[in-house]
Amino acid sequence: MIEFFYNIDINPLILILILAFAGIVQVFYYLFFYIRIAFKDTEKTEGFSENLSVVICARNEGENLKKYIPLIANQNYKNFEVVVVNDCSADDTEFILDFLEKKYANLRHTTIKEDSKFSHGKKLALTIGIKSAKNEHLILTDADCYPASENWLKEISQNFNKDKTIIISYGAFEKAKGFLNKFIRFDNFFNSIQFLSFAKAGIPYMGTGRNMAYKKSLFIKNKGFASHYNIMSGDDDLFVNENANKENTKPVCSQESFTYSPAKTSFVKMYQQKLRHLSTAKKYKFYHKFLLSLEPFSRILFYSLSILVLSFLFNYLILAFVIFVLIVKLLVLKIASNKMKEKDLFVFSLMFDMFLPIFYLFLHTNNILVKRRKWS
């Protein structure tokens, strides 16, 4: 075995060393970061009973509001309001909200009228909703989202305390038939493992607007979305990236704290959504961008060099190393998929794990080319 490495030429040896480096980096991410998803949530404020404001922005979401507002307005929590901002809807959202307000005393809404001279994104609507909220503790979700349980508000809010002012949790996508649904859900599942486990490690860098919470005073003190108002996306991840730290942020992974929403049903719509989300990455802090780039880069190296090296320089020690890395990855993904109630995704995990870095590389390239066309 030692003789094999002693007699090998320098170029193949370099490839083997790069493979070893990539595999070690992968194991590090999985055993230092991602395994933390399995850790039990701690430091809950039992008996937390502060008044809450649930803030929802809706544009042409009448049918979703009709289905999901009852699930939110009837939460098992004593004192809370639901504030919906009707953002220039052209459907029957206004009529539905008027009807729902008569049914639920804790629901109220405000409406932004269409202005042909002034266009705006979600950040304006969300700012209006937050400023009109009566309470300090805000829970944010989207109009097409619904809570996993009647204890959603309780599960989220009991993580607030004098130090924890930002709460992030899992916003899952509904299961549906088809390969595209599994791909979209795995992408969301893996991204969520990343931002939740990083936060558990004291490196919070993003959250999802489908399921997060923060204090109104934090939003006001830090001038809301002012620093990135010109970017269409980022009302969730950029706000967290700018304001979160290991002392003030709490990730929550209990299943009753999850929300669900329908996934995109076409590849084109999903692709366009991912492009919008990637537009915010340039605003992340440098060390966040480094950590988030190193993992997929090492993943591409690991899979490509594993195939290359084992095809031309087969050795049982190298094979054992590759198998060890794969077992570590699969074990952690199995634990995480159970924890996040995504068990059906495990069967596809290695295939998606190999493909996703290539998909994101293509997305980033596309983003650069689109920008260049716009600049020209």
Tens of pLDDT, residue by residue over 273-321, are 888 777 788 889 999 999 999 999 999 999 999 999 999 887 889 999 9
Residue 62 and residue 210 share a domain: yes
How many Cβ atoms from other residues are within 10 Å of residue 13's Cβ?
Answer: 13
Final residue of a structural domain among 198, 231, 265: 265
Residue 178 and residue 323 share a domain: no
Per-residue pLDDT, averaged over 258-284, amounts to 88
Residue 3 has pLDDT above 70, yes or no: no
Residue 47 has pLDDT above 90, yes or no: no
What total number of domains does the chain contain? Answer: 2
Residue 220 and residue 80 share a domain: yes
Residue 157 and residue 128 share a domain: yes
Residue 187 and residue 53 share a domain: yes
> Containing domain of residue 161, as a range?
41-265
Nearest CA to 290 out of 366, 203, 190, 187 is that of 203
Residue 326 and residue 295 share a domain: yes
pLDDT at position 19, please?
97
Using CA atoms, how far residue 307 sits from 13, 301, 302, in Å, is 15, 10, 9
Residue 294 and residue 157 share a domain: no
Residue 52 and residue 24 share a domain: no
Q: What percent of the chain has pLDDT over 90?
A: 77
Residue 363 has pLDDT above 60, yes or no: yes
Q: How far apart are CA 156 and CA 192, in angstroms?
A: 16
Nearest CA to 141 out of 25, 235, 232 is that of 235
Per-residue pLDDT, averaged over 178-195, amounts to 96
* Residue 277 covered by a domain: no
pLDDT at position 374, please?
38
pLDDT at position 124, please?
93
pTM of this structure? 0.92
Using CA atoms, how far residue 167 sits from 295, 310, 339, in Å, is 25, 45, 18
More reliable by pLDDT, 121 or 132: 132
Residue 69 and residue 29 share a domain: no
| Percent helix, percent strand, percent coil in the chain, to nearest 5 | 55, 10, 30
- CATH number assigned to the domain comprising residue 195: 3.90.550.10
Residue 134 and residue 170 share a domain: yes
Residue 10 and residue 130 share a domain: no
pLDDT at position 276, please?
79
